[in-house]
């Protein structure tokens, strides 16, 4: 079924919309949730919640891409679950990603020029659009989807060490870009 | 929220079209490097040179035919017997794949689908449109071993490795290095990088420079397999000329693959060189066979 057909089911309040979304994108959504939560049970919960969120938000929302919209919903839900759990025990995947992203934080040039995440998102989006497609996808797969380095190395046909270096260069590039553009956190 | 949390949230908020793009994207596999790493891994372990060689040359690589080879094939094609008008030619764009075809020395594999078609065909003059994968196993093994010896048996490198082997078990990874290890970088690689720094700072400038030079050569070998591909291209051109000389009308398609129209008898009596590995399977139109 095409995305348009599934969106039409949402719009006509046909509950098959959820089943069809799960059938088409369930594997992707579970992967995203598992990458964040590292737990199948929690991932299932995040996917179910995300599908419910889609049902509640479409309409009035009219996503251009159902895949990106559903992926965003499950990522938000997974992170929300993760934050709750981190009160008890910090989830290792999130810790790992934040550790890596530490390297992208621009030097604090002005203590009062803090950025909102949305503003920073726009700056990162602009920077990503300057990269070649392979690097852009690689960055998004690692830091948005949270895919493991080993998995990405396998997909790209690189050695993990080489891929880790490539990611390091990308993070350094992002940091330089943010500093050059005058951003600080 | 601290800085890194803000960064993570900011990455989560990137434009949806980039998220969508990444979900549907298939990376162009870095074939050369993947093969190089596979080969290097075998070499470093000191085993599996045959496997590395087969990997390097077993699967057809588009465009890895030399101009000389193509010219030879084209020129010889003109004097080779061509199918007569009455001769039936069988094509079969079956779903046979060449990926994973790792050939070993002495292999002469005729694919199941082709074998079945040959058995079912009653017309002995019938031609089968096939492609031939060929791997110069013995020659690539020898080249790899030779290169291996030249680089890894250098006295300076051997001295470095002996000292590294003594030092490595005593080294405790730092917190940062441990994180790297958790991300899939091997302990040996991490420790070796660290030891190189120590070693270069403690030894004479001359030794340090020699090690750096060797490292550059090894990196080049791992990355580019310098010389090997060119050498194998020459080998393939020679083998192609030999087969054509024996009456096998082999053409090279635009992907550098060897294609031919052969009778079942010709296929069954394929004049294999014992130092090579071959696989004969259906050619498909999608691969440029005409």
Cβ contact (<8 Å) for A133 and B25?
Answer: yes
Confidence of residue B80 (pLDDT cuts 50, 70, 90): very low
What is the CB neighbour count within 10 angstroms for residue B116?
Answer: 11
With a cut of 90, say whether residue A172 has pLDDT above it.
no
Confidence of residue B90 (pLDDT cuts 50, 70, 90): confident
With a cut of 60, say whether residue A113 has pLDDT above it.
no
What is the distance in angstroms between the Cα of B177 and the nearest Cα belonging to chain A?
12
- Give mean pLDDT, residues B125-150: 85
Query: Poorest-confidence range of A22-36, B41-55, B74-88, B106-120?
Result: B41-55
Q: Please, what are the domains in chain A?
A: 3-86 (1.10.1740.10), 103-180 (1.10.10.10)
With a cut of 90, say whether residue A171 has pLDDT above it.
no
Residues B165-187: tens digit of each pLDDT = 888 888 888 888 888 877 777 77
Q: Which residues of B touch A185 (CB under 8 A)?
A: 3, 6-7
- In this predicted structure, what is the pLDDT of residue B178? 85
What is the distance in angstroms between the Cα of A174 and the nearest Cα belonging to chain B?
11
This model of the complex carries an ipTM of 0.71
Query: Poorest-confidence range of A83-87, A110-114, B146-150?
Result: A110-114
* Average pLDDT value over all residues in chain A: 79
With a cut of 60, say whether residue B63 has pLDDT above it.
no
Q: Which residues of B touch A164 (CB under 8 A)?
A: 180, 183-185
- In this predicted structure, what is the pLDDT of residue B220? 76
- In this predicted structure, what is the pLDDT of residue A79? 80
Cβ contact (<8 Å) for B7 and A101?
Answer: yes
Residue in A closest to B15 by C-alpha: A125
Nearest to B284, CA basis, from B60, B72, B77, B120: B60
- Give mean pLDDT, residues B50-78: 37
Question: Could you write out the DSSP letters of every residue in chain B?
Answer: --HHHHHHHHHHTS-HHHHHHHHT------HHHHHHHHHHHHHHHT--HHHHHHHHHHS--TT-S-HHHHHHHHHHHHHSPPPPTTS-EE--------TT----TT-EEE-HHHHHHHHH---TT-EEEEEEEEE-HHHHHHHHHHHHHHHHT-HHHHHHHHHHHHHGGG----HHHHHHHHTT--HHHHHHHHHHHHHHHHS-HHHHHHHHHHHHHHHHHHHH-TTHHHHHHHHHHHHHHHHHHTT--EEE-TTS-EEEEEEHHHHHT----TTSEEEEEE--GGGT--
- In this predicted structure, what is the pLDDT of residue A26? 87
B213 Cβ contact list (under 8 Å, min separation 6):
none
With a cut of 60, say whether residue B75 has pLDDT above it.
no
- Give mean pLDDT, residues B124-139: 89
Q: What are phi and psi of B227, to 5 degrees?
A: 95, -35
- In this predicted structure, what is the pLDDT of residue B40? 40
With a cut of 70, say whether residue B92 has pLDDT above it.
yes
Q: Which of B5, B11, B37 to mutate to test the interface with A (most CBs of A within 10 A)?
A: B11
- In this predicted structure, what is the pLDDT of residue B189? 79
Residues B215-239: tens digit of each pLDDT = 888 777 766 677 887 888 899 999 9
SS3 per residue for B31-47: HHHHHHHHHHHHHHHCC
What is the distance in angstroms between the Cα of B24 and the nearest Cα belonging to chain A?
9
- In this predicted structure, what is the pLDDT of residue B235? 93
Residues B246-264: tens digit of each pLDDT = 999 998 876 678 889 999 9
Confidence of residue B102 (pLDDT cuts 50, 70, 90): low
Q: Which residues of B touch A70 (CB under 8 A)?
A: none
Residues B107-124: tens digit of each pLDDT = 899 988 899 999 998 898
With a cut of 90, say whether residue A136 has pLDDT above it.
yes
With a cut of 50, say whether residue B24 has pLDDT above it.
yes
Q: Which of A24, A111, A117, A154 to mutate to test the interface with B (most CBs of B within 10 A)?
A: A117
- In this predicted structure, what is the pLDDT of residue A95? 55
- Give mean pLDDT, residues B14-26: 84
Q: Which of A104-113, B15-24, B29-38 has the highest mean pLDDT?
A: B15-24
User: How many Cα atoms are found within 13 Å in the side-chain-facing hemisphere of A80?
Assistant: 11
With a cut of 70, say whether residue B65 has pLDDT above it.
no
């Amino acid at each position: 079924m095409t995305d348009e057909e599934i969106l039409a089911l949402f719009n006509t309040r046909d509950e098959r919309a959820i089943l069809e979304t799960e059938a088409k994108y369930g594997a992707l959504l579970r992967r995203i949730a598992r990458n964040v939560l590292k737990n199948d049970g929690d991932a299932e919960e995040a996917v179910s919640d995300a599908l419910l969120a889609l049902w509640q938000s479409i309409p009035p929302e009219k996503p251009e891409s159902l895949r990106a919209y559903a992926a965003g919903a499950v990522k938000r839900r997974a992170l929300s679950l993760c934050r709750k759990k981190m009160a008890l025990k910090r989830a290792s995947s999130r810790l790992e990603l934040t550790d890596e992203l530490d390297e992208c934080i621009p030097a604090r040039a002005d203590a009062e020029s803090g950025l909102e995440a949305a503003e920073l998102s726009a700056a990162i989006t602009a920077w990503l659009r300057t990269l070649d497609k392979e690097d852009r996808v690689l960055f998004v797969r690692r830091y948005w989807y949270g895919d493991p380095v080993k998995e990405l190395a396998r997909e790209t046909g690189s050695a993990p060490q080489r891929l880790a270096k490539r990611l390091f260069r990308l993070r350094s590039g992002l940091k330089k870009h943010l500093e050059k553009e005058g951003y600080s956190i | 929220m601290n800085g890194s949390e803000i960064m993570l949230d900011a990455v989560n908020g990137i434009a949806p079209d980039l998220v969508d793009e990444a979900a549907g994207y298939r990376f162009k596999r870095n074939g050369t490097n993947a093969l190089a790493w596979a080969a290097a891994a075998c070499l470093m372990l000191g085993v599996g040179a045959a496997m590395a060689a087969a990997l390097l040359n077993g699967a057809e690589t588009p465009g890895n035919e030399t101009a000389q080879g193509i010219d030879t094939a084209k020129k010889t094609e003109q004097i080779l017997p061509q199918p007569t008008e009455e001769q039936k030619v069988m094509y079969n764009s079956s779903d046979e794949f060449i990926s994973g075809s790792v050939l070993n020395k002495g292999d002469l594999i005729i694919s199941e689908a082709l074998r079945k078609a040959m058995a079912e065909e009653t017309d002995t003059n019938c031609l089968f449109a096939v492609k031939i994968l060929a791997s110069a196993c013995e020659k690539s093994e020898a080249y790899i071993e030779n290169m291996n010896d030249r680089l890894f048996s250098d006295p300076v490198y051997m001295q470095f490795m002996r000292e590294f082997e003594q030092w490595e078990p005593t080294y405790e990874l730092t917190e940062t290095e441990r994180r790297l290890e958790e991300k899939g970088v091997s302990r040996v690689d991490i420790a070796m990088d660290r030891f190189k720094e120590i070693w270069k700072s403690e030894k004479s400038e001359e030794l340090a420079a020699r090690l750096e030079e060797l490292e550059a050569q090894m990196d080049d070998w791992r990355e580019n397999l310098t010389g090997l591909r060119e050498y194998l291209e020459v080998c393939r051109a020679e083998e192609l000329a030999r087969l054509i000389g024996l009456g096998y009308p082999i053409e090279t398609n635009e992907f550098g693959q060897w294609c031919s129209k052969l009778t079942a008898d010709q296929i069954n009596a394929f004049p294999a060189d014992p130092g090579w590995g071959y696989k004969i399977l259906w050619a498909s139109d999608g691969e440029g066979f005409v």
